[in-house]
Structure 1
Amino acid sequence: MTYENERLGRTVPVPVSASPAVVIGAGVVVAGYDGYVRFLDRTLSKVYWKRRMDSPVYASLVLDGRRRRVVVAATSGLVACFDLKGALVWSAEVGVPVYATPTVLPASDVLVIAAFHSRCLGLNLDTGAQVFERPLPRPWHAGHAGTAAHRDPYASPVTTEMDTAVLCCAEHVLALAPDGTELWQQEIGHAIKASPAALHTTGKVAVCPVNGQCLFLDSSKGQVLGEVFLNAKITGSPAVSGGILAVGTQRDTVAGLDIRTHDIVWTSPHGAPREYTSFSVLPDGDFIATARNGNIVCLGRQDGRFRWESSQVLGLADHEPAMDITPVAGPDGSMYCASYSGDLYHFRFQPLDEESPPCP
C-alpha cells in the first residue's frame, strides 16, 4: 500500500490499521492511513475502485451485506457509505474522532458508533440520518486533567441478542436501546480497552478490563454473573466460538472459557492477540489472532491446541514481515491481514481432503 507524494517526489508506504471487509466471491475492501478506501480483487492484483476520505481510517470497516454496501468511519468523524461499485450512498459528520469499530443493530437498522470524547451516536444504516447522540461516562482521570482522557472509549461496541448495544467506556459497561436510551450501567472499577463479546446463546456479555478479569454480565440487566481471573493485563479483544470464549493476555497466554459454566477449559502459552487487536474466528470455528511476533496463530476451538502459524518471509529487500492488525477470513478460503509498514497480505488455504489439514 503506497501513496505518491508529489511534493516530496517519492512513494510513501501507507500504514493499514483497519481490518478490511471481505466481499465473498469478489475481493476485499481496504482502508489505509492515507484516507483512501480501495476495493481490490481477491488476489490483490487489481483495484476495482478507490475513494478518499478526509482523514486516516483506524476503525475496521463494516459490511452491510443486505444492501451490499460498506461503511467507513474516519478519524475526523466523517462516516461514509459506499456501494460495491464505489458510489457514495450517504455520508455523515459525527463531530468527534472515531477509532472504535461501529456495530450494527440489525433489527433496528441502526449503526452504533462509540467515539472519542466520551460520545456515542446512532445512525440509520440505510440513509446515514442521525438517530441519537448521547454522552458516555468519562474516565476518572478526566477530572484530574488526565492528558489521555479524551481518548475514550477505545473499545468497540457489540450487539446483543436483544438488538441492543453494549459499550465499554472508562470504568463502566452500559447497554443502550436502538434509540440511545440507557437500559443499564455497571461500574467495573478498572479501565476497559478490550471490546466486549456478546454471548448470544447464554444471554450474557463478556467484559475484560485491564486488571486481568473476565466478567460475565447479564446482557438484559447488567448484573455480574461470574468472573475469572487471568492474572495479566488484557488489551486484546476476546472472541466466542461454539460455546468457548478465547481471551488473551499481554503475557501472550490464552484461556478458553466455557461460556455457560465460566470454567477454564484449556490454556495456551502462545497465540494471544497483539495490543488492541482481536481474536477472529475461522469458518471452521477455530480461533486466529495476530500474535506478538507479527504472525497469525491458529488455536483449536475445543482444545486450544496449536494448529498453524503464518509466515510472511517473502525474500523481498527491506521487507518487514510482521503484521499488526486483526486478521479476517472468508468462507471462500481467503484470509487477509496487514501491517503498519504498509503491506497488505492475502493468504490462501489448502483445499481440504481426507488426508490434509487446513493451512494458510
Structure 2
Amino acid sequence: MVENVSHVQHYSKKLDMKISVPISATPVCISNIGVIICGSDGFINMYSEDLSDIKWRHRLNSRIYATPTVLFKKKQIIVGDVDGTVVVLDYEGKRISRIANGKCIYNNIVTNEEETIAYFNTFERKLYCVSIDKLDVLWVANLPTPWFKTQESFAANRDPYAAPVITDQGTILSANGNKISAFTKKGIRVWEIELPAMIRATPALCFRSKRGVAPCVNGKVVVFDYDLGKTLMIEDLQGRIVNSPGLSNMSCCVGDLSGNLLCIDLNELSAKWRVNVGAGLDHGSVTSTPAGDFVFITDRGNAICLSYEDGSFIWESMQTIGLPNQSTKLNQSLNITNNGKMYASSYDGYVYSYIFEEEKYEAYPDYK
C-alpha cells in the first residue's frame, strides 16, 4: 500500500514552469537519516523518510543514473554521474572527496568490506579502483573488447552497463561484452569466462555456494564457480535478459523481457521453478523481501512479488492514489528496508514509499 509520494520537479526559468525530473537511480533509505534520491538533473537529494521534505541537495555535473552506495561504517555516501564525476558525501551533504575521469558511469559503485576502496565500471570498457578517502585512482583495468567494436559500431563504446561485484575473498568480477573477468585487489587478471552472448545485467554472487549467476541477452543464464572461473550449468529463458538477478536463501531468480522468470537452486544446480507474469522485466533488478520472497518491477509499471518456494503470486503494487496528472508507472528497481518499508521511483519523477500489513513469518536466512 502506498504510504507517501513525492514528485521531483525542476523549475525552468526559461519556460516559467515546473518540469518532472526523471529518476533512474533506485531510492536508498538510511534508517533514521532519510532517503537518497538522485535525478537526471544531477542533484543528489536527501529526503526525509516520509518523503515530505528535502533536508539537503548536492549537484553533480550531469545526469545520475547509478544508484548511490551507502558506506554505513563511515556514515558516508558515494555517487557517480554519466560525466564520470564521483563524489563522497557525509550524511549532512558535506563533500569529503571528488574525482572526475570523464568516463560515463552507468551502474552502481561497489566497495570492499572495510569501505576503504571503491570499484566502478565506465563506458569505453574500463574498471576503476579508487581510494574512498581521497578518490585517488589506484589502478585501471581494460575490459574485453566486444565483437562489434571491430566493426566501428556507433554503440561500441557504450559498454559495460553491468556493475562490478566482489567475492567473499575480495576478487573483483566485471562483466563486459560476452565475458566475465576476474581481478585481484591489485588489478591483476586471474581468469575469464566466455559467455554464450553479451551481458547487460550485473551478475549475482552467492557466497555460501561460491557460485555466481550471469544472465545473457540471448536468454541463456550461466551459473559459474567464481573461485575457479568455471561454468557449471546453463539454463535458457528464451527471451532477452537485461534485468539483474536477485538472491534468496541459495536460490537465484532472473527474468526476461517476455515476462518469463526462472528460479535456480544454486546448491543443487537445478531449475527450481519457472513462471510467466505476462509483462517483461526491463533494466533494473530482482530483489527480495525480509521474508525471502522475490520482488521486481515489470514493464506494466507495477511491482510484483512471487513466492520464493514455488513462484506463486503473492501481491502486485498499485500507485493510483488520485493525484492530478499522476503517472503511476514504476521503473528500474525497488529498495526494501529492514523496517518493512519499500521505496520505488519512476522516469516521470515520482517517488513512492509503501507499507505492508504485518504478518507472522519465519524469515529466510540472508545469504549473499
The TM-score normalised by the length of structure 1 is 0.95
The reply to whether residue 312 of structure 1 matches residue 331 of structure 2 is no
Describe the SS at the equivalent of 1:143: helix
Match of 2:182 in 1: 175
Describe the superposition over 1:100-149 as per-residue Cα deviations: whole angstroms up to 9, x where unpaired. 11222225732110110111101112332212112111211111011111
Match of 1:151 in 2: 158
Where do 1:180-329 residues align within 5 Å?
180-270=187-277, 274-329=281-336
Describe the SS at the equivalent of 2:333: coil
Distance in 2 of aligned mates of 1:89 and 1:17: 24
Paired residue type of 1:9 = D
Distance in 1 of aligned mates of 2:164 and 2:142: 15
Would you say the 8 A contact 1:99–1:154 is kept in 2? Answer: yes
Shift in alpha-carbon separation, 1:32–1:7, aligned structure 2, 3 A: same
Match of 1:71 in 2: 78
Would you say the 8 A contact 2:139–2:187 is kept in 1? Answer: yes
Paired residue type of 1:101 = N
Alpha-carbon shift at residue 17 of structure 1 (Å) = 0.2
The reply to whether residue 138 of structure 1 matches residue 145 of structure 2 is yes
Would you say the 8 A contact 2:282–2:332 is kept in 1? Answer: no
Match of 1:337 in 2: 344
Distance in 2 of aligned mates of 1:267 and 1:325: 22
Paired residue type of 1:237 = S
Paired residue type of 1:123 = V
Describe the SS at the equivalent of 1:142: helix
Match of 2:365 in 1: none
2:99 to 81, 87, 92: 92
The reply to whether residue 161 of structure 1 matches residue 168 of structure 2 is yes
The reply to whether residue 34 of structure 1 matches residue 41 of structure 2 is yes
Paired residue type of 1:39 = M
The reply to whether residue 122 of structure 1 matches residue 145 of structure 2 is no
**Larger relative contact order (Cα-Cα within 8 Å, sequence gap ≥ 6):** 2
Alpha-carbon shift at residue 202 of structure 1 (Å) = 1.1
Distance in 2 of aligned mates of 1:152 and 1:350: 42
Paired residue type of 1:146 = S
Describe the superposition over 1:279-306 as per-residue Cα deviations: whole angstroms up to 9, x where unpaired. 0122221111111211011111122111
Match of 2:64 in 1: 57
Q: CA RMSD in A?
A: 1.5
Alpha-carbon shift at residue 35 of structure 1 (Å) = 0.4
Alpha-carbon shift at residue 277 of structure 1 (Å) = 0.8
Would you say the 8 A contact 1:25–1:332 is kept in 2? Answer: no
Distance in 2 of aligned mates of 1:296 and 1:127: 39
The TM-score normalised by the length of structure 2 is 0.93
Describe the SS at the equivalent of 1:327: strand
Distance in 2 of aligned mates of 1:307 and 1:25: 29
Alpha-carbon shift at residue 272 of structure 1 (Å) = 7.1
Describe the SS at the equivalent of 1:326: strand
Structure 1 gaps of 5+ residues are 355-360
Would you say the 8 A contact 1:271–1:297 is kept in 2? Answer: no
Structure 2 gaps of 5+ residues are 1-7, 362-368
Alpha-carbon shift at residue 274 of structure 1 (Å) = 2.8
Distance in 2 of aligned mates of 1:142 and 1:71: 31
Distance in 1 of aligned mates of 2:332 and 2:21: 14
Matched positions, count: 354
Bigger CA drift: 247-256 or 126-135? Answer: 126-135
Describe the SS at the equivalent of 1:325: strand
Alpha-carbon shift at residue 184 of structure 1 (Å) = 0.8
Bigger CA drift: 237-246 or 101-110? Answer: 101-110
Would you say the 8 A contact 2:79–2:109 is kept in 1? Answer: no
Would you say the 8 A contact 1:175–1:183 is kept in 2? Answer: yes
Distance in 1 of aligned mates of 2:91 and 2:78: 11
Alpha-carbon shift at residue 189 of structure 1 (Å) = 4.0
Shift in alpha-carbon separation, 1:234–1:134, aligned structure 2, 3 A: same
Describe the SS at the equivalent of 2:281: coil
Where do 1:91-110 residues align within 5 Å?
91-107=98-114, 109-110=116-117
Match of 2:356 in 1: 349
Distance in 2 of aligned mates of 1:106 and 1:177: 15
Distance in 1 of aligned mates of 2:168 and 2:159: 25
Would you say the 8 A contact 2:47–2:54 is kept in 1? Answer: yes
Distance in 2 of aligned mates of 1:164 and 1:262: 23
Shift in alpha-carbon separation, 1:353–1:220, aligned structure 2, 3 A: closer
Q: Spell out structure 1 runs of 4+ moving beyond 2 A.
A: 271-274, 350-354
Describe the superposition over 1:3-31 as per-residue Cα deviations: whole angstroms up to 9, x where unpaired. 01112211111000011221012321110
Would you say the 8 A contact 2:251–2:266 is kept in 1? Answer: yes
